[in-house]
């Protein structure tokens, strides 16, 4: 039987992120003497040991994975502004000011911004039961509780429904 995509051949195997027992033991041993080990490495580096110096410099000033991209984009206030920003990115890539991968990364950022601006969250409707003894403050407290719980947002619509017993009709 062929494996399904994303399915492990051994579902009862080691879970993701689980560390090896030896690794955990080594980390515990090093943690106890971490300060002394770091001090010794610094002393060796000060003494001229190139390997220790390289190790210290790698920790103090690690090599950057990528360089920051300097590009003047027009201000983004609305989704329509993303068209000008995309045109600026394409022009910079065509002029050789940006590499294709840098241009693609910036274009992805612009696309995400555009999606956030264009796909505004739809307003939802919530019904709040208004008991016979509830004051307006009680009803507002129920509304505020829904917002505080994260169930609703302040811009949602809240409809107050009065609770009636069958004998009140």
User: How far is the C-alpha of 5 from the C-alpha of 105, rounded, in Å?
Assistant: 28
Looking at residue 120, what is its pLDDT?
A: 60
Looking at residue 123, what is its pLDDT?
A: 67
The per-residue DSSP string of 125-163 comes to EEEEEE-TT--HHHHHHHHHHHHHHTSS-TTSEEEEEE-
User: How far is the C-alpha of 134 from the C-alpha of 128, rounded, in Å?
Assistant: 11
Query: What are the strands, taking DSSP E only, across 36-169?
Result: 125-130, 157-162
- Tell me the per-residue pLDDT of 6-45, one tens digit each, with 9 for 90 and over: 666 677 777 777 788 888 888 888 778 878 888 888 888 8
Q: Enumerate the domain spans of the chain.
A: 21-60, 65-120, 125-168
- Tell me the per-residue pLDDT of 61-108, one tens digit each, with 9 for 90 and over: 777 777 788 888 888 887 788 889 999 999 999 999 988 988 999 999
User: How far is the C-alpha of 163 from the C-alpha of 122, rounded, in Å?
Assistant: 28
Distances (CA, A) of 168 to 131, 134, 163, 164: 13, 17, 10, 6
**Residue found under tokens 């739809």:** 122
pLDDT band at 165 (very low <50, low <70, confident <90, very high): low
pTM: 0.39
């Amino acid at each position: 039987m062929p494996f399904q995509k994303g399915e492990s051949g051994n579902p009862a195997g080691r879970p993701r992120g689980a560390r090896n027992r030896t690794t955990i033991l080594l980390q515990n041993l090093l943690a106890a003497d971490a300060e002394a080990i770091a001090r010794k490495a610094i002393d060796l580096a000060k003494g001229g040991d190139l390997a220790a110096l390289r190790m210290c410099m790698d920790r103090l000033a690690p090599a950057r994975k990528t360089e920051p991209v300097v590009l003047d984009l027009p201000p983004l206030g609305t989704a329509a502004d993303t068209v000008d920003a995309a045109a600026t990115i394409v022009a910079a890539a065509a002029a050789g000011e940006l590499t294709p991968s840098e241009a693609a990364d910036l274009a992805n950022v612009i696309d995400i911004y555009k999606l956030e601006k264009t796909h505004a969250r739809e307003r939802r409707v919530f019904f709040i039961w208004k008991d016979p003894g509830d004051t307006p403050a009680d009803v507002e407290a129920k509304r505020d509780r829904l917002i505080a719980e994260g169930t609703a947002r302040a811009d949602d619509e809240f409809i107050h429904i009065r609770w009636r017993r069958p004998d009140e009709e």
